[in-house]
Structure 1
């Protein structure tokens, strides 16, 4: 079986999306040939056998205005490449990739397509028509959470399956550093402070701007608190400015994107996830599997995973988050982490995910 995994782009901003695809592809049948295509950017993609970097311009991918005239040429190149690869199954990264690839495979009846949606997206009428144009026998649309699947199904009017992303628990736990090692790796004190961690791209949707406001309020009452924000993105300068303005230079660390980030969770006493929206939120799963308790935004996708074991605060509310951070600092962290571990049930979740991924990758 020949599987091609087609991603929008490479690089650190897309690490979590690549991680999801890597987990899916790990369930391919023995002997399957797997390759990945990056439409933009450079870098390895999902640890597959080979990666092809198309280096397409953003304007060409979007196909607007005069660039639309080049679409037939690009579609021809893509079809030729798929035929040369003897592609049987395509795994597509969301709507942007689907807009480009589905018109190509409409006339390739032996190719089966699986589209993985990672977050909420705006569907145009043309998108709905395009997704409906591929017969259900050749197309699987999946979403990484029940919350996202329900929203997409309502917009599309066709079935959307749930493929709730899960990480292989044993391998993940095996790579974790112990708390003292993890703190040393981040140049943090190993004693005398309580460290709150936040992980994700430095973009508006992650809510790190108002988290700084909340942390400034909380740290006035709890001077031993420290905050580490792991990630990189377009809001770095803005967030660094807020850190200085709030007088948090000695209390907030932003080391950027760290290789081996998943090893570092035990550096934290708590993980904070202040997102305004999420498709699933792998950070939540990783923290819980690392046995670190989580405080997160009150989003349905988080409640879907943690239920009553979760600790929630309203997204975008600095005052509520400040109070929640102070409250968390006084809770028995080990007990909270154990309850969240039981609610998430990582081993059972991985079994369900593995079975669903194998079905997704089947040949026509």
Structure 2
């Protein structure tokens, strides 16, 4: 019996989704190796995956590709392992492509994991309804997301709140001195606010820059580091110049080792306008750094009253939140946020749920 993990794409833009799937599958109890397919993009060097190198137009059946969809499904069907029992699907996009292939394979169970808010179509609901609960599990990475999906789909949604092994995560994290040296930051003195994520509009980094500019006018030694890459880089760089923040704000790009660098920061900001879960929150708090977040239900789900919140895209509110943070001893806030997050219990719950959903008979 084997498990097949099917991802929409590889590359840095999908690193967080890949990380979640790796964590899930690390708990799967299955005698055979776990195979991975990437429908688009390339894998990291050395990863044992099958790369299909299909375009979005092919996968979505656009234009002339609609006529070739049956041929694509036949190719997928022939490539499935003969002893396949479980297929882990990366969200509704992959489900639209793969579930029709699995309809005639009653021995195969599918698990579709939703990682964030998704615009579902009526056709999606019809597709999912063709599979009984014994053959299809819908899972979401947070209770907030699961509740939303349940209301729309009118079927149970398992909560698979992503989590990390806190002991292993902390052991891999660099010390404050090592992390600051790695990022070229002063070892002492300057308060440093960090942020991690793709440079895209929904991450709220434009708002963060404007808010930081208002704070740094009164605290010129403060620094802001935004780790990540994406299409919003030119706009963010232009805004940094407009705000005269060169030397105070750095954009080091995508760093594969980003999860080891949190201790370089005094605080981590997560100004997203929406999130399925927000792995950065968990990583920062486990590394020993408190977080400032947008006022989103999914963040309150994890931090409750221990969170420090500001409305999304509200520059004035984010500026006040930063000023308050820079004037507050971070360790006292961290203690409360660590208790609320309860990473050891979260890891236990995540591990047990993963084992139940992804263990071969």
Bin of the TM-score, shorter chain as denominator length: over 0.9
Q: Which residue of 2 aligns with 1:3?
A: 3
2:135 is equivalent to residue 123 of structure 1: no
Query: What is the deviation of 1:32?
Result: 3.6
2:347 is equivalent to residue 350 of structure 1: yes
Matches within 5 A, 1:1-364: 1-29=1-29, 31-44=31-44, 50-82=48-80, 84-363=81-360
Structure 2: how far apart are the matches of 1:85 and 1:194? 57
Sort the Cα spacing of 1:193 and 1:12 in 2 relative to 1 into closer, same or farther, 3 A. same
Task: Describe the SS at the equivalent of 2:84.
Answer: coil
Task: Describe the SS at the equivalent of 1:250.
Answer: coil
Query: What is the deviation of 1:31?
Result: 2.8
C-alpha RMSD over aligned residues: 1.2
Task: Describe the SS at the equivalent of 1:21.
Answer: helix
- Structure 1: any 5+ residue segments left out of the alignment? none
* Maintained 8 Å contact 2:2/2:31: no
With normalisation by structure 2, the TM-score equals: 0.98
Query: What is the deviation of 1:67?
Result: 1.2
Q: Runs of 4+ in structure 1 displaced over 6 angstroms?
A: none
- Structure 2: any 5+ residue segments left out of the alignment? none
Query: What is the deviation of 1:86?
Result: 2.6
With normalisation by structure 1, the TM-score equals: 0.97
Structure 2: how far apart are the matches of 1:338 and 1:35? 40
Structure 2: how far apart are the matches of 1:154 and 1:317? 29
Task: Describe the SS at the equivalent of 2:262.
Answer: helix
Query: What is the deviation of 1:30?
Result: 5.4
Structure 2: how far apart are the matches of 1:280 and 1:337? 19
Alpha-carbon displacement from aligned partner over 1:14-65 (angstroms, at most 9, x marks no partner): 11000000000000115342011000011139x97x2100111121011122
Structure 2: how far apart are the matches of 1:133 and 1:51? 29
* Maintained 8 Å contact 2:290/2:334: yes
Structure 2: how far apart are the matches of 1:354 and 1:35? 20
